[in-house]
Amino acid sequence: ASGRERLLPRLRPFPRPAMDLFGDLRRMNKRQLYYQVLNFAMIVSSALMIWKGLIVITGSESPIVVVLSGSMEPAFHRGDLLFLTNFHNDPIRAGEIVVFKVEGRDIPIVHRVIKIHEKENGNIKFLTKGDNNEVDDRGLYKEGQNWLEKKDVVGRARGFLPYVGMVTIIMNDYPKFKYALLAVMGAYVLLKRES
């Protein structure tokens, strides 16, 4: 046989078919499999600990959010990743960009504070608007609500990374892509062997 024919059987197409991945799992002994599962659990728990730590440090229930619409352009674009803080003793000011939740809507909104209304007792109410929107946000608030209060604020924008959150938007728009990506990542962590 020629040298070319001898090389052909050794070539393996990349990426390997899913059946080969399951074959790798079957070939692992129990100790290796337990080690890989424990490795995966450590990665997940580390990510959760980092997230909880960020919540404590920033005072925000959601310290990192992705801008999902173009309502804040040109300040922020769809897919920008925002870093938030929410310290309760820090007063809200006009011009500040806040992330807020309103009753009846699951997804937080990122808009700018345009008006502050301070009562005699010290309570503050405020009105928001997207930089790219024609009108204020009263139409977005729950029925009969004309102002937001401090309890509605999830956080205030302190910094951002442009377009880094596009992966999140793609995963939300295409759920099959999200599950495929999670499956590939899980398989990689489980099947990765230490050299």
Q: Active-site positions? A: 71, 111, 137
Region of 76 on the Ramachandran plot (φ > 0 left; ψ -120 to 50 alpha; else beta)? beta
pLDDT tens-place string over residues 85-143: 999 888 899 999 999 999 888 889 999 999 998 888 878 999 999 999 999 999 999 88
CA-to-CA dists, residue 125 to 84, 122, 154, angstroms: 20, 10, 15
Buried b (16+ CB within 10 A) or exposed e, 122-132: eeebbbbbbee
Q: Rounded to 5 degrees, what are φ and ψ at 59?
A: 75, 10
146-159 pLDDT, tens digit each: 999 999 999 999 99
148-151: long-range contacts at Cβ-Cβ below 8 A with a sequence spacing of 24 or more? 148/100, 148/102, 149/123, 149/124, 149/125, 150/88, 150/92, 150/124
How far is it, in rounded angstroms, from Cα 55 to Cα 163?
Answer: 23
pLDDT single digits (tens) 68-80: 999 999 999 999 9
Backbone region of residue 152 per phi and psi (left: phi > 0; alpha: psi in -120 to 50; beta: other values): alpha
**Residues forming a β-bridge with 127:** 115
Task: Please report where in the chains the tokens 């604020």 appear, as a residue.
Answer: 153
CA distance 156 to 148: 14
Q: Which domains does the chain have, with CATH numbers?
A: 64-167 (2.10.109.10)
Question: Tens digits of per-residue pLDDT, 12-62?
Answer: 555 555 555 556 556 667 777 788 788 888 988 999 999 999 999 999 999
**Confidence (pTM):** 0.71
